[in-house]
Amino acid sequence: MSSEAVDHDAQVEAVREAFEREFGRFARFRAGEGAEGLSLGEAETLLRELAELRTRHTAKKSALAQLMKLIGRVPAEERAAFGQRVQVLNGEVTARLDEAQEALKAHVGRLKIERERLDVTLPGRRPRRGHLHPVTQLRQRIEDVFVSMGYAVEDGPEVETDFYNFTALNIPELHPARSPQDTFYTTDGLSLRSQTSTVQIHAMQRRRPPLRVVAPGRVFRRDTPDATHNPMFFQVEGLLVDRGINMGHLKGTLSEFVRRLFGAQTRTRFRPSYFPFTEPSMEADYSCFKCNGRGCRLCKGSGWIELGGSGMVHPNVLRAVEIDPEEFSGFAFGLGIDRMCGLMYELDDIRLLFENDVRFLEQF
């Protein structure tokens, strides 16, 4: 009896010792203590290892579980005492595992709260601010100048009917400007507008004279892209219709415009030209803003830079929108924004403006 009892006691002690050997490194974690100074990673690793240890020592096939099974098989007179020892051991093992686990879990919880707490003393991360495209910046400056001279800013569609893009602008059928070589046609006789002059017609239909409008926008031509051409570019159209308007008003307006844009020293000159929708027509030049007319690389040595086409509104254009050319007259002009932008920033290639390369655009 006694020899068997010793065997059983020894078995219980062996299981206890095996547990304590492995549990030794967790023994310091008690009642919420012992984990101070552990990093989050260290504490989480220990928790994982503790769970493995619990499985090894308490799961179905563990030595402790074997002892529990043994209780029913020891002789009846020893069963109570043996059973009690096994139960005590089981209670101790479970309690110590639970205690260490609680201490580690509490520490992990504290570290996580600390990590997620907002540190209001840290400098914030400022989102990178963009800015307006150089063509947009120049367009707005041009608009500002004309608005300060009493003009309203108009807008118009980029896809146009034959009437607005050609007929009403005194460009009859068979006129070379209608050539598919020059214009993008869509189906059903529509085309992408080849100049902002289309807005003249819309504006005169919407507002009756007297009127003063500028209309900045995209236009489209079937140009092969190169350093100075792009199939899409930006223009600003200007139109003024009133009683008694003459060439002097046009010259005064464009002269004042370039003075406000480039400075009071800027001079203008006008050359006769031809456009179907103006009569008479002229090209306007302004003295180079870089060399002030002395001649430089920018103005190709001439001292002058081309501003754009202009002229007195053709009577046929007024008639197309049922305005009496005997009562009203007006002038119109068109300026290329991106070409002007290219000159102002001395770009070698105008296509740079439309490649959307942020490294380039950031410079403006």
Q: How far is the CB of 296 from Zn ion (least distance, A)?
A: 4
**What is the Cα–Cα distance from 353 to 319, expressed in whole angstroms?**
39
Token pair, residue 51, equals 């769970």
288: contact with Zn ion by CB under 5 A: yes
Residue 323: closest CA among 172, 203, 228, 151: 203
- Among 296, 347, 352, 361, which residue sits at the site for Zn ion (rule: CB under 5 A)? 296
Token pair, residue 26, equals 């967790």
298: contact with Zn ion by CB under 5 A: yes
Indicate the residue whose CB is closest to Zn ion. 288
Tell me the window of 6-14, 45-53, 228-236, 296-304 that interacts with Zn ion (CB under 5 A): 296-304
For residues 262 and 331, which CB has a smaller minimum distance to Zn ion in the complex?
Answer: 262
> Tokens 């002097």 label which residue?
248
Q: How far is the CB of 295 from Zn ion (least distance, A)?
A: 6
Token pair, residue 350, equals 């105008």
- Among 290, 316, 352, 364, which residue sits at the site for Zn ion (rule: CB under 5 A)? 290
Q: How far is the CB of 360 from Zn ion (least distance, A)?
A: 24
For residues 96 and 269, which CB has a smaller minimum distance to Zn ion in the complex?
Answer: 269
Q: How far is the CB of 298 from Zn ion (least distance, A)?
A: 5
- Among 70, 177, 291, 321, which residue sits at the site for Zn ion (rule: CB under 5 A)? 291
Q: How far is the CB of 135 from Zn ion (least distance, A)?
A: 22
For residues 18 and 291, which CB has a smaller minimum distance to Zn ion in the complex?
Answer: 291
- Among 135, 241, 299, 343, which residue sits at the site for Zn ion (rule: CB under 5 A)? 299
CA 148 vs. chain centroid, Å, equals 32
267: contact with Zn ion by CB under 5 A: no
Q: How far is the CB of 340 from Zn ion (least distance, A)?
A: 14
Q: Angle CA(139)–CA(145)–CA(147) in degrees, nearest 5?
A: 95
Footprint of Zn ion on this chain (CB under 5 A)? 288, 290-291, 296, 298-299
